[in-house]
Amino acid sequence: MITRTATVALPERRFPQKAEGEALMRRAALLGLWVAAWMLLTWLCSRTPPLDNAEQLSWVRQLAWGYYKHPPLPTAFLWPWVQLFGVEEWVTYAAAAAVSGGGLLLTWRLVAQLAGVRAADVSMLATLCSVHFSQRLPHFNHDVLLMPCVVAAAACCWAAFERRSRLAWVGVGVALGLGALAKYQVALAGVAVVVWWLHERAWRDPVHRTGLGVATVLALAIVGPNLAWVVSHDFLPLHYAVNNSLAHDVSAHAGRGSVPKWLGDQLTMALGSMLLLAAVHWRAGRGPASLVGGEAAHSMRVRHFLLCWGVLPLATIPLLGLALDARLHANWAFAYLPLTAAAVAVWVEGGRWKWLRWREIWLIFAGVQAILVAVTLRSALDPWPGQSLSSHPRRFASQALADQIGPPARLALGGSLRVIAGPFRLASVLALRLSERPLVLIDGRHDVSPWVPDGLEGRCGVLWVGGAHESPPAGAQPHAFGDGLWWAVQPAHSGAAACDPL
C-alpha cells in the first residue's frame, strides 16, 4: 500500500483560483514598475552594455546547437527579437527583464502555494534586495535563462509528489532539459530532484520510480542535439571550462583560494536580502506558533523541500570548487537565489506570519533600495575615466573609443568594417558601437566564430583590437588607443572579390 505524508492546506492558502490570479497580477504590476525603474537607472549609469549582452549579440548572428562556451538556449531565445528589431543592446535588456521577471513571478506562485502569500511576498522582496537582481538586472546570460527553468523544475517536482502525477514528472524532465540547453549547471537542480526523491522514499512508489526515469530520459532527449554538437566540435565548451575555471593561472583567485572570495562575494551581494529576512524573523518570531498536527507537518515538509532546492545547490558550489580546485564565478549562484530566499523565509512558522508588521518590512525594503541606488549613482559619477574593460566594464568608454578608431580603420581598409577580431569581450563591445555592426571573429578563430563566413576577412579585411596581453597579426601595424589598448588593420587580399555591403 502506498503511504503519503498528510497534507493539510494552511488557512492562508485557501483562496479561490480567481483570487490567486488577481494577486499574481498585482505582484506582476509592482514588479514591472521595479524592473522598469532599475532598467532605466542602470542604463543611464552605464557607458557600455553588459559584456554578456554584447557577447550574445555576437553569437545571435547564426543559430547553432551549441557555442564554444555554453549551450544555445539564450541565443535562440534572443534570435527572433533580433530579427524583428535588429542587433540592438536594448533588445537584450528587454529579454533580461522578461526572463528575470517571469522567473520571479513563477517563484512567487510556487511559494504562495507551498507556504502562503506572505511567505511568497517576503521571499520576493528579499530577492529584489540582492545586487544580483538590482544592479545586475540588465545582464542577459545563461544564468538568467537557467533561473526560470530551475523554478519550473521545482514546481513540477512538488506537484509530482503531491498528486502522484505522471504528467508532473514529464514537466520535471522538460524543465531540466531546457535548463541544460541554458547552462550545464542545471545538474545541481537534478541533484535536488534526486535528493527529494530519496527524502520521500519514492522507490516504494511505482509512479515515482517510473517518473524519475521518464524525467531523466526526457531531459537527455532535449539536450541530446547539443551534446552531439559538443562531441562533433571537439568538446569546445569543456576546453573553455578547463581554461576559464580549472586552469591555475587564470587569475590570482584561481583554485581553492577562490572559494573564500566566492563566499564573500555572495554575502556582500546578499546583505540587503539578509537584512530584510532577519527583520522578518525577528518580528514574526515574537509571536506564538499556532500550527499543530497536519499543518505543522506540512510546514516542516515545505521547509525541507525548499532547503533541497534553495540551499543544497549553493552549498554544493563551494564544495565543487574545493574538490576540483576551480575558480568560482559570483553569478553561478544566480539561478537558485529566489528559492534560497524562499527557503529562509519559510523558516518563520506559518502561524507566526500574522505577527509580521508590513510597514516595517516595507521601510527596510525601501531603505535597502535607496542604498543600492546611491551606490549605483556613486559608481556612475566616479571621477576616474574607467578605461579598463575588465575592472570597470560599466564605465568603459566604448562609444568614444569606437568613434576614435572607426574613421582611420575605414580609411585604411578602403570601405566599411565587416569583421572585427580580437578578445571576445573587447571585440563584441566595440562591434556594437561601430555603425556597421561588424561580425566578431573571436581571437581570429573560425572554429569559435561560425557566424563569420570563410574567406570574408580575405575579401573585406579585418579590424583587429586587443590589449596588453594580445598581439596583432604579422604585418599589421598596431595603433594605441585607450588605456593599454591597440587597434590594427589587416587589409583585404590583393585581387580579392569586392566586399559586399552589410
Q: What is the mean pLDDT of residues 452-478?
A: 89
445 in the same domain as 347: no
> Does 433 reside within a domain?
yes
Confidence check: pLDDT of 345 > 60: yes
240 in the same domain as 300: yes
Contacts of 257 (CB under 8 A, 6+ apart): none
Confidence check: pLDDT of 445 > 60: yes
Choosing from 307, 342, 377, the residue where a domain stops is: 377
> Does 2 reside within a domain?
no
Of 134, 153, 106, nearest to 334 by C-alpha is: 134
216 in the same domain as 92: yes
Predicted local distance difference test score (pLDDT) of residue 471: 87
Q: Which position has the higher pLDDT, 81 or 394?
A: 81
Name the least confident of 32-36, 43-47, 250-254, 421-425: 250-254
Predicted local distance difference test score (pLDDT) of residue 342: 96
430 in the same domain as 348: no
Confidence check: pLDDT of 15 > 60: no
Confidence check: pLDDT of 184 > 70: yes
Q: Please count the structural domains in the chain.
A: 2
Beta strands in 391-484 (DSSP E): 419-422, 439-442, 462-466, 479-481
Predicted local distance difference test score (pLDDT) of residue 3: 41
Q: What is the mean pLDDT of residues 45-51?
A: 90
Confidence check: pLDDT of 354 > 80: no
Predicted local distance difference test score (pLDDT) of residue 287: 61
Q: What is the layout of strands, in order, in the sheet containing 479-481?
A: 439-442, 419-422, 462-466, 485-490, 479-481
3-state secondary structure (DSSP) of residue 285: coil
Look at strands 419-422 and 462-466 and give their pairing.
Answer: parallel
> Does 4 reside within a domain?
no
> Does 382 reside within a domain?
no
Q: What is the mean pLDDT of residues 120-143?
A: 95
366 in the same domain as 431: no
Number of residues that make up the chain: 502
> Does 39 reside within a domain?
yes
Sign of CA dihedral 230, 234, 236, 237: positive
Predicted local distance difference test score (pLDDT) of residue 494: 59
Predicted local distance difference test score (pLDDT) of residue 209: 96
Q: Tell me, rounded to whole angstroms, the distance of Cα 322 from its chain centroid.
A: 23
**C-alpha dihedral (344, 346, 347, 352), degrees to nearest 10:** 140
Predicted local distance difference test score (pLDDT) of residue 296: 77
Choosing from 323, 347, 377, the residue where a domain stops is: 377
Q: What is the mean pLDDT of residues 468-481?
A: 86
pTM over 0.85: yes
Name the least confident of 245-249, 250-254, 361-365: 250-254
Using the CB atoms, write b or e for 32-64: b if 16+ within 10 Å: eebbeebbebbeebbbbbbbbbbbbbbbbbeee
Predicted local distance difference test score (pLDDT) of residue 87: 94
Percentage of the chain lying above the pLDDT 90 cut: 66
d(Cα 32, Cα 158) in Å, to the nearest integer? 27
Q: pLDDT tens-digit profile of 71-113?
A: 999 999 999 999 999 999 999 999 999 999 999 999 999 999 9
Crossing angle between the packed helical segments 337-345 and 293-306, to the nearest 10 degrees: 150
Q: What is the mean pLDDT of residues 226-251?
A: 80
Q: Which position has the higher pLDDT, 201 or 246?
A: 201
> Does 285 reside within a domain?
yes
Predicted local distance difference test score (pLDDT) of residue 9: 37
397 in the same domain as 357: no
341 in the same domain as 423: no
Name the least confident of 334-343, 348-357, 438-447: 348-357
DSSP assigned state of 474: T
Output the furthest CA–CA distance in the chain (Å, rounded): 86
Predicted local distance difference test score (pLDDT) of residue 474: 84
397 in the same domain as 373: no
> Does 54 reside within a domain?
yes
- Strongest mean pLDDT among 120-124, 282-286, 349-353: 120-124
DSSP assigned state of 271: H
Q: Which helix (H) or strand (E) holds 46?
A: none
Confidence check: pLDDT of 253 > 60: no
Q: pLDDT tens-digit profile of 268-305?
A: 999 999 999 998 888 876 666 665 556 778 888 999 99
Look at strands 479-481 and 485-490 and give their pairing.
Answer: antiparallel
Predicted local distance difference test score (pLDDT) of residue 239: 87
CA distances from 277 to 164, 491, 499 (A): 33, 60, 60
340 in the same domain as 410: no
3-state secondary structure (DSSP) of residue 76: helix
421 in the same domain as 361: no
Binning pLDDT at 50, 70 and 90, where does residue 327 land?
A: confident
Choosing from 315, 343, 377, the residue where a domain stops is: 377
Predicted local distance difference test score (pLDDT) of residue 298: 83
H/E/C letters for each residue in 194-260?
HHHHHHCCHHHCHHHHHHHHHHHHHHHHHHHHHHHHHHHCCCHHHHHHHHHHHCCCCCCCCHHHHHH
d(Cα 421, Cα 462) in Å, to the nearest integer? 7
Binning pLDDT at 50, 70 and 90, where does residue 1 land?
A: very low
d(Cα 446, Cα 452) in Å, to the nearest integer? 7
Of 218, 116, 106, 121, nearest to 171 by C-alpha is: 218
Predicted local distance difference test score (pLDDT) of residue 86: 93
Q: Average pLDDT, whole number, for the chain? A: 88
Predicted local distance difference test score (pLDDT) of residue 256: 62
Show the domain range for 324: 15-377
Confidence check: pLDDT of 389 > 90: no
Q: What is the mean pLDDT of residues 424-446?
A: 94
407 in the same domain as 356: no
398 in the same domain as 343: no
CA distances from 104 to 35, 41, 56, 207, 347 (A): 11, 20, 23, 30, 20
> Does 318 reside within a domain?
yes
Confidence check: pLDDT of 443 > 90: yes
Geometric angle at alpha carbon 381, from 380 and 386, rounded to 5°:
65
Binning pLDDT at 50, 70 and 90, where does residue 18 land?
A: low
Of 178, 183, 133, nearest to 338 by C-alpha is: 133
Q: pLDDT tens-digit profile of 137-171?
A: 999 999 999 999 999 999 999 999 999 999 999 99
